[in-house]
Amino acid sequence: MTQQSVRNLSLFGLTWPIFIELLLQMVMGNADTLMLSYYSDNAVASVGVANRIIYILILIYGVIATGASVLVAKALGAKEDRRASEIAVVSIGANLVIGLALSGTMYVTGDQLLRVMGLPEELLREAMQYIVIVGGFSFFPAVALTISAVLRCHGFAKDVMLVTIGMNIVDVIGNYLFIFGPFGIPVLGVFGVAMTTTISKAMGLVFLVAFLLRRVENPLPFHTLIRFPFDHLRQLLKIGVPSACELLSYHTSQLAITYIAAFLGTQALTTKVYTENLMMFIYLFSMAISQGTQILIGHQSGANQFQQVYERCIVSTRISFAISLGMGVILYLFSPRLLTIFTDDASIIHTGSLLLLMTILLEPGRSINLVILGALRALGDIQYALYLGIISMWGISVALSYLLAITLDLGLLGIWISYVIDEWLRGLVLLKRWRARRWLSQTNIEIQG
């Protein structure tokens, strides 16, 4: 692919590799947990708690990576290839420094962090092994996230997908060897899983660097790091920080709703987990379309093609809406059969099927929200979505979940009703803002040097 062909990206060409990548990340995360469960329940719990801390690190690294995705695409759209390369270099350098600092923090203070989270003493040793190794080398994914964002902006989403596939293959093979110990290989448990995870990420980073140096035609000016263009960093943070805050608000609100669901009992909590695992496939479609649309709009806005920007978002929203609606119907029609993959409890299957019926309403609303959010992020109009998200997630989704599920005794159905209202409200408000073109006043992110 040449630099000129970057200008002619397609939604499908960007979306399907991103979807496969997201799907693999979800499936392999569950596969790691499943494989560890054959070794020890304590190991599963230890890694689960440690991964909560690792997730916070990834969220921090995502600040720079998100900003890079927007600014590089925008610069390429404006045919400012050198500027795009400068932003890429600054992004990589910044996340490397942040990654090294946080990796050192994990190595030194991992024990204290786990104790603060109230981890039982019997889980502490294995959790400590995991967080020191995986967290101590978290600068690998810090840099990898940034390079992946840059490659996607240049149209090489398929390369990132292939690297992800390779990493997951290495991860599964390594986990199998060190958990089950075939051919006389010592069983290392959590230590082996942590080593395998770190090695697979290191190998993935090596290949991503190779793809970056090979694919991007304009030479990467690493010498600019000597005088470090703080202007680029400021713009990266201006986009990345609100995006990360919006994502953090979403996940913490989901934790609060899970806490509410726990009041309904173990069976209700189990049903919620199984149902959301099935719903995740629809969510991934919407997320992939959102990320692909964000890259396309970044290019178009950089070229000042604002009518195409407007139409691109509307078309992507319609596509995502139709796919979400169709997938919701399919999941509901096959819900009893799909839920039997996880359980044979008739009560869980009945309630789960009812929740998947509600999903036919929920996911189309979520699809509107996700696609327009990605479009607004590409234009730098993220502050409004952040404030709207915080108010709606906590003021409607969490508060209404408690009211309907606990106070009015609707159980999980009440939680799903709150989901529907929250996603549709945010989606429709963002759609109204998009149609009013309020984002035009926010498109003045600097492109010229």
Cα–Cα dist 102/414, whole Å: 40
CB atoms near residue 48 (< 10 Å): 14
User: What would the mean pLDDT of 127-155 be, rounded to a whole number?
Assistant: 92
Phi-psi category of residue 181: left, alpha or beta, with phi > 0 → left and psi -120 to 50 → alpha: left
**Calpha distance 211→191 (Å, rounded):** 30
Domain boundaries, the chain: 9-228, 238-442
Q: What is the DSSP string of 62-99?
A: HHHHHHHHHHHHHHHHTT-HHHHHHHHHHHHHHHHHHH
pLDDT over 50 at 163, yes or no: yes
Q: Is the pLDDT of residue 444 over 60?
A: no
* pLDDT the model gives residue 29: 66
Does residue 5 carry a pLDDT above 60? no
* 424 CB-side CA count, 13 A: 12
pLDDT at 117: 67
One DSSP character per residue, 323-363 reads HHHHHHHHHHHTHHHHHTTT---HHHHHHHHHHHHHHHHHH
Residue type at 150? V
pLDDT in tens, 408-427: 999 999 999 999 999 999 99
Q: What is the mean pLDDT of residues 137-158?
A: 94
Q: Which residue has the higher pLDDT, 441 or 417?
A: 417
Closest CA to 325 of 369, 269, 366: 366
Q: Are 87 and 72 in contact (CB under 8 A)?
A: yes
Instruction: Give residues with Cβ within 8 angstroms of 358, minimum separation 6.
Output: 413, 416, 417, 419, 420
**For the segment 292-313, what is each residue's pLDDT rounded down to a tens digit?**
999 999 999 998 899 999 999 9
